[in-house]
């Protein structure tokens, strides 16, 4: 259904047909409710702690399934038509876009990765005089700054080459990893000559950047590096540098600006959200584009028309409230076969994110997000073409801070005066000093930044919290997946990196649930968040809470095998068929989702296994972090995950789980030790005739479940016997062993 004016729609909303899927979900829900009914009826004869815990866990599973059904009930996606956009607007009429790229640590996020992302964004199909790229270097690294200077020089060769030969893939490292396709690139001899020259220049650039990265001597040469001469990490003044200023119009190179905000030890900096708010203010003073695209430093533009696709949604509705922001899925390159670490997230995004897209719109993913600047500023979609709430200069200063230039630029956005090109098209270099003031560590004091405007503070997942705030004001969001994918990034590999990322997500999402001003419940009761949208956010927010019932339910079979009791129906009972149907039905349902996405059975199993591992190893520490924060004992800490371009050492075993001394691995190791012991105890007891399928003790169900847990945690079983990074450190094994012994003693006391 087209929702744009004119005969050529810029976008089309495509609802998905899913009658059979709905029927499957309702069938599983009916089985879960039947199991709960059985559990409640059995309490009259058995009120043991084991049965009560089973009831709690199964009630939780049913609740979560209800939330899943809500999310997946009415999926939708938007098809964008960039050709229609170019037919509808003259090239000089297209609105400007400010692009934000964020990096935090030059060691964990090597500058060559950031450089490739920046080059891919500078080279997209969009008028160069309508784009400005701002790079936030939160580490204040001279290595990153030096790398971007060299990249800006290379861009003067790379971007004309892309335009001349209509190159589709515009991240140099990815483009030059493939052989040139001569059939698509004009005269063969000219193309090959240019291709080889540009490739050699890129290799020189890459080597130069990597040499600086490995060197202990910082590149502090020339006046450009004066501000880096005595820089300390976490304690330095604000730095704003114009690396390239577009003076050649639409066919030139877009603006490129380096920003490192001021940091002082005693001033909170609010992690990525704080960096994005600084970029918002700096860009408001320099270019003030009405639209913003933010991407992580490793997410390069894989589709050269990605800005045009995003504009189709931002400009394609009769009412702009229908698109406060547009979100692309997070997709990754160089993934290992069958996704052994379960971090490609393709199926999750297709069915969960695609599902919520059919309600009030997708969550804000934190990268690949196209925003209206006015929505970031807290403007409501119901106050169009007015200045309601913005008229008082004193009020604006209280909200946005003490900067006349920032107030002026804000008024232009709110009053919809910032249309077409940039405000300061040829004056960027003269704006750096006032830009430094709004990048200071004290500018936000006694303002609404991070509270009511900008990217919000108070959560490790500032992106989701900010999107929730925007939707609570009444804005909708849209979800689109162009072909080829809009952006591609590098997913973390190995056990520690994957689980650290999930821990951070789980921590931040639970923080949102307990946010007294911006939780989804508050958004529905007092603001404009739809009820079904609220339930969708709750499903996401409870990741960390999920760890408790997951851990308890995983321990129940072992407890029964050790104590000679049972919590599941016997094979001879009719209810055993109910449990078996539920077990088989859920697994077939989830397998069907993976097959629908073209995934293998092995990939399905890897993801099912990682869901169990993640819930018990990463989500539980996330829960504890939030509990300690709520009790005032500690604050949550933002952990940056290492990002690397795909390089597998010769001695490595790709796809094998790796370990370190992190406490996250203790619960998983403890679970494995407990189940190995429980199965051993059960086999000895069965061999001696003390218990068996015909007794009142544990039966086939408990043994199957215990075996299922061990198979799911097979990487930990291998880790007990592995060496090096593939082995679980003895410090973790000892702590897990102590917990396992305590659990066994607890079971015997029941």
Is residue 96 classed as helix, strand or coil in its secondary structure?
coil
Q: Which of 98, 137, 138, 298 is catalytic?
A: 138
138 in active site: yes
Is 723 flagged in the annotation as binding? Answer: no
Reported as half-sphere exposure (CB side, CA atoms, 13 A), residue 216 has a value of 0
Tokens representing 17? 């047909």
**How many CB atoms within 10 Å of residue 5?**
12
105 labelled as ligand-binding? Answer: no
The DSSP output letter for 336 is: P
Contact 607, 347 (CB under 8 A): yes
Q: Which positions ≥6 away from 418 have C-beta within 8 Å?
A: 288, 289, 290, 373, 409, 412
Q: What is the 3-state secondary structure (H, E, C) of 269-336?
A: CCHHHHHHHHHHHHHHHHCCCCEEEEEECCCEECCCCHHHHHHHHHCCCCCHHHCCEEECCCCECCCC
**Residue 203 marked ligand-binding:** no
Contact between 701 and 579 (Cβ < 8 Å): yes
User: Are residues 95 and 293 in contact, defined by beta-carbon separation less than 8 angstroms?
Assistant: no
Rounded to an integer, what distance in angstroms lies between the CA atom of residue 499 and that of residue 669? 14
Nearest to residue 5, comparing CAs of 325, 371, 315?
315
Of 298, 339, 463, 515, the catalytic one is 463
Beta pairing, strands 487-488 & 300-301: antiparallel
Measured between alpha carbons, how far is 582 from 213 in angstroms, rounded to an integer?
54
C-alpha to C-alpha distance for 102 and 211, rounded to whole angstroms: 22
Reference 547, options 615, 625, 622, 627; nearest CA is: 615
Other CB atoms closer than 10 Å to residue 607's CB: what's the count?
24
C-alpha span between 217 and 197 (Å, rounded): 30
For residue 408, indicate whether it is catalytic.
no
Residue listed under structure tokens 């993801």: 607
- For 453, which DSSP code? B
CA 466 – CA 273 distance, rounded (Å): 9
Report whether 296 belongs to an annotated binding site.
yes
b (16+ CB within 10 A) / e for 336-367: bebbbbbbbbbbbbbbbbbbbbbbbbbbbbbb
Q: Tell the burial category of 189 from Cβ atoms under 10 Å away from its Cβ (0-12, 13-18, 19+).
A: exposed
- In 3D, which of 265, 324, 331 has the Cα closest to residue 300? 331
Binding-site sequence positions for UDP-alpha-D-glucose: 109, 138
Catalytic site residues? 138, 463
Known binding site for Mn(2+): residues? 272, 296
């Amino acid at each position: 259904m087209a929702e744009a004016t004119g005969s050529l729609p810029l976008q089309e909303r495509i609802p998905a047909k899913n009658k059979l899927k709905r029927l499957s979900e309702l069938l599983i829900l009916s089985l879960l409710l039947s199991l709960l009914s059985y559990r409640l009826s059995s309490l009259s004869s058995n009120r043991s702690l084991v049965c009560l815990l089973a009831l709690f866990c199964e009630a939780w599973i049913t609740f979560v399934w209800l939330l899943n059904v809500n999310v997946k009930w009415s999926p939708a996606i938007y098809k964008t038509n960039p050709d229609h956009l170019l037919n509808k607007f003259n090239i000089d009429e297209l609105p400007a876009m400010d692009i934000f790229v964020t990096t935090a640590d030059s060691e964990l996020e090597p500058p060559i990765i950031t450089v490739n992302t920046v080059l891919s964004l500078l080279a997209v199909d969009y008028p160069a005089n309508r784009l400005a790229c701002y790079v936030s270097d939160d580490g204040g690294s001279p290595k990153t700054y030096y790398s971007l200077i060299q990249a800006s020089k290379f861009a003067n060769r790379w971007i004309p080459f892309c335009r001349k030969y209509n190159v589709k893939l515009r991240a140099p490292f990815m483009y030059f990893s493939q052989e040139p396709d001569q059939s698509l690139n004009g005269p063969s001899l000219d193309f090959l000559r240019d291709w080889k020259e540009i490739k050699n220049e890129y290799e020189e650039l890459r080597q130069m950047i990597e040499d600086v990265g490995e060197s202990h001597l910082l590149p502090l040469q020339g006046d450009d590096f004066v501000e880096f001469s005595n820089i300390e990490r976490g304690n330095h003044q604000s730095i704003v540098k114009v690396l390239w200023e577009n003076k050649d119009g639409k066919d030139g190179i877009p603006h490129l600006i380096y920003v490192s905000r001021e940091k002082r030890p005693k001033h909170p900096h609010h992690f990525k959200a704080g960096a994005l708010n600084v970029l918002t203010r700096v860009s408001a003073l320099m270019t003030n584009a009405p639209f913003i695209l933010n991407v992580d430093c490793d997410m390069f533009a894989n589709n050269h028309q990605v800005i045009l696709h995003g504009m189709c949604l931002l400009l394609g509705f009769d009412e702009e409230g229908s698109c406060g922001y547009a979100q692309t899925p997070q997709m990754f390159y160089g993934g290992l076969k069958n996704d052994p670490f379960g971090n490609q997230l393709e199926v999750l995004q297709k069915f969960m994110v695609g599902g919520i897209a059919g309600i009030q719109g997708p969550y804000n993913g934190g990268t690949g997000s196209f925003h209206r600047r006015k929505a970031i500023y807290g403007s409501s979609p119901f106050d169009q073409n007015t200045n309601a709430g913005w008229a008082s200069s004193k009020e604006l200063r209280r909200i946005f801070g003490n900067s006349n230039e920032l107030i002026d630029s804000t008024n232009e956005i709110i009053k919809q005066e910032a249309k077409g090109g940039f405000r300061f098209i040829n004056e960027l270099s003269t704006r750096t000093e006032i830009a430094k003031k709004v990048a200071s560590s004290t500018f936000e004091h006694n303002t609404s930044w991070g509270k009511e405007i900008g990217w919000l503070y108070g959560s490790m997942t500032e992106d989701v919290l900010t999107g929730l705030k925007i939707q609570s004001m009444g804005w909708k969001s849209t979800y689109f997946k162009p072909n080829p994918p809009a952006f591609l990034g590098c997913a973390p590999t190995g056990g520690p990196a994957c689980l650290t990322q999930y821990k951070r997500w789980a921590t931040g999402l639970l923080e949102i649930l307990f946010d007294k001003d911006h939780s989804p419940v508050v958004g529905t009761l007092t603001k404009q968040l739809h009820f079904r949208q609220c339930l969708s956010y709750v499903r996401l927010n409870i990741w960390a809470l999920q760890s408790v019932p997951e851990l308890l339910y995983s321990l129940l079979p072992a407890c029964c095998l050790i104590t000679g009791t049972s919590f599941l129906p016997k094979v001879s009972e009719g209810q055993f068929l109910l449990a078996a149907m539920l077990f088989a039905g859920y697994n077939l349902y989830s397998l069907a989702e993976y097959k629908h996405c073209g995934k293998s059975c092995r990939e399905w199993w890897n993801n099912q296994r990682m869901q169990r591992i993640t819930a018990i190893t990463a989500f539980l520490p996330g829960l504890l972090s939030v509990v300690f924060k709520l009790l005032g004992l500690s604050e949550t800490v933002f952990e940056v995950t290492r990002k690397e371009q795909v390089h597998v050492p010769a001695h490595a075993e790709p796809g094998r789980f790796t370990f370190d001394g992190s406490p996250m691995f203790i619960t998983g190791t403890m679970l494995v030790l407990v189940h190995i012991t429980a199965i051993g105890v059960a086999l000895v007891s069965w061999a001696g005739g003390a218990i068996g399928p015909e007794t009142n003790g544990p039966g086939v169900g408990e043994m199957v479940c215990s075996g299922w847990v061990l198979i799911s945690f097979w990487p930990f079983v291998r880790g007990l016997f592995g060496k090096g990074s593939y082995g679980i450190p003895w410090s973790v094994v000892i702590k897990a062993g102590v917990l396992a012994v305590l659990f066994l003693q607890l079971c015997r006391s029941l």
